[in-house]
Chain A
């Protein structure tokens, strides 16, 4: 893990750093370095390598401008689509959801909550990053771009795609999410060789298949979700697995 902190208040900066070190040591999570910056320019000039293991803790309100942190986040996002961005800010009327969406930030952490909650929230975020990092082969994103739909999702989060009967909509069922969009199953199947058409209405991520219930023709995924498989496809899927 490669952690960067941008915060112009030295006390806050050191406090955050101390908490992070404590959490990392308590959980025995490895990290390379924690860099602290108090000016955006300092941080932006050091942007070099990329990846989800790059963590940025950004203060939103920096000297001179009350939304400087968002601009920095945008610059980081332009440089590295996979970096993990977390805003640390005093609770205020910022458009937190809006900005979370615009720069795909992982979270907003309020500075003015009590130390225990603050630390807990930090730990939850780090936990998430560590989990992501363990599952993902680096930078494995599934991207879908058509005029009618566009999204990015880590490939490991996909369980299966399903057609909606009577419509042209497809449902993506993920580990912790569900998304509808317009498209065609065979187009998606062609996008990645790890996707397997198990049934007229289903396209499954073979990486997340846990077992196949041959008696009922059902595929069971790692979070116990299920989908159908047609009988004549069972053999082919077993061969792939």
Chain B
């Protein structure tokens, strides 16, 4: 009867712990974290303590001559020393897997992926099996299952570490490939531009030479003809939209250059008048480059999507660099159809003006910015002009 009560209490205690942790997680982090992650944290906390406890206690039985020690010493080992060891062990293990936890925390897609759900499922099963252990009457049997449980939790951790690492590497490789493709496009675009200008230069030299002969002969009619010829041609080439790409040479961060060139070329192809201003050399974005380009990507996509359907489609980008204050401002303005909007609404999860498939954009920007105290977003919307400013400080 007593064992049954202890068992019920133990089971009850564990379930209460898990539920409590998950509820607390929900209460404080629901807006910033996904359900799966909170569930994982709750389960992990309880299970890891149990698993390490099991390991340490069985190590104690093996290595410490418990048989020869007094009952008090054994109790002391189990009640005082083992929690301390668990704490220390926990600290080192979390330190070991913290880069992986960061990857998971930052990656909404991974949190929703089946792999992560699988880990959660296995953790739940482990908890279940752990709770069932005391039901075995045979002590040896109990110990085996106990050890099995501990090993399974540890191997689950290793599995998690490996999957996240793989996932991260894969993403990194994809990003590199994307960046390379963008830069290749950029080079092609610049080459075309160079060829255009070179062709123009060639024509121009010929015209000047023929102008010289005409001037020499005093043939005003021919001079006029040649002059008109030049005038007709040059604005076309000199005002070519793609000149804005030249400014990108001031960007010293290849990932950003790649992204901006890709998006600008895309916008130009869609017939959106796109201008970019960069006054000074751009050497640092004052935050993790991957996070920075994720935000820029979302802002640029939003701008392209919003201005696409307007009569006077334009996107105007400016990068203002203040080397003294170590502050960067990335300003992006675009045309919109609506006069104004309730801007604050746009930042709520899932809210969008463009149909159901969109709208996670600005929410994701917020998710990324949570980790940076020195980065902010400013938004304004008036006179059919929507503007976003990303301010980052070093």
Chain A residues at the B interface, C-beta cutoff of 8 Å = 95-98, 101-102, 124, 128, 148-149, 151, 164-169, 171, 173, 176-182, 223-225
Known: A148-B393, A178-B344. A165 touches B32 (CB 8 A): yes
Chain B residues at the A interface, C-beta cutoff of 8 Å = 28-29, 31-32, 277, 279, 316-318, 320, 329, 331, 333, 340, 342-344, 347, 366, 369-370, 373-374, 376-383, 393
Question: Which residue of B is nearest A124, CB measured?
Answer: B383
Say yes or no: B333 contacts A176, CB within 8 Å: no
Say yes or no: B376 contacts A169, CB within 8 Å: yes
Contact of B320 among A101, A149, A173, A182 (CB under 8 A): A101
Give A103 to B106 CA distance when docked, in angstroms: 38
Contact of A148 among B316, B343, B373 (CB under 8 A): B373
26 A-B pairs in the complex with CB atoms less than 8 angstroms apart: A95-B277, A95-B279, A95-B318, A96-B316, A97-B317, A98-B318, A124-B383, A148-B374, A148-B393, A151-B378, A165-B31, A165-B32, A166-B28, A166-B31, A169-B370, A169-B376, A173-B343, A173-B344, A176-B340, A178-B343, A178-B377, A178-B379, A180-B377, A181-B376, A182-B374, A225-B344
Known: A98-B279, A176-B381, A177-B378. A224 touches B320 (CB 8 A): no
Known: A168-B373, A176-B381, A180-B369. A97 touches B331 (CB 8 A): yes
CB contacts (< 8 Å) of B29 on chain A: these are 166
Say yes or no: B370 contacts A176, CB within 8 Å: no
Say yes or no: B277 contacts A96, CB within 8 Å: yes
Interface of A is mostly: mixed
10 closest Cβ pairs, A-B complex: A97-B318, A177-B380, A95-B277, A180-B376, A178-B379, A176-B382, A178-B343, A179-B378, A166-B32, A173-B344
**Nearest-CB distance from B333 to chain A (Å)?**
7
Give A169 to B377 CA distance when docked, in angstroms: 11
CB contacts (< 8 Å) of A224 on chain B: these are 342
Say yes or no: A178 contacts B331, CB within 8 Å: no
Question: Which residue of A is nearest B28, CB measured?
Answer: A166
Give A151 to B377 CA distance when docked, in angstroms: 13
CB contacts (< 8 Å) of B318 on chain A: these are 95, 97-98, 101
Give A148 to B393 CA distance when docked, in angstroms: 8
Give A75 to B282 CA distance when docked, in angstroms: 27
Give A225 to B346 CA distance when docked, in angstroms: 13
**Nearest-CB distance from B32 to chain A (Å)?**
5
Say yes or no: A98 contacts B379, CB within 8 Å: no
CB contacts (< 8 Å) of A171 on chain B: these are 344
CB contacts (< 8 Å) of A173 on chain B: these are 343-344
CB contacts (< 8 Å) of B379 on chain A: these are 177-179
Give A152 to B344 CA distance when docked, in angstroms: 19
Give A95 to B275 CA distance when docked, in angstroms: 10
Contact of B277 among A98, A167, A176 (CB under 8 A): A98
Question: Which residue of B is nearest A101, CB measured?
Answer: B320
Question: Which residue of A is nearest B380, CB measured?
Answer: A177
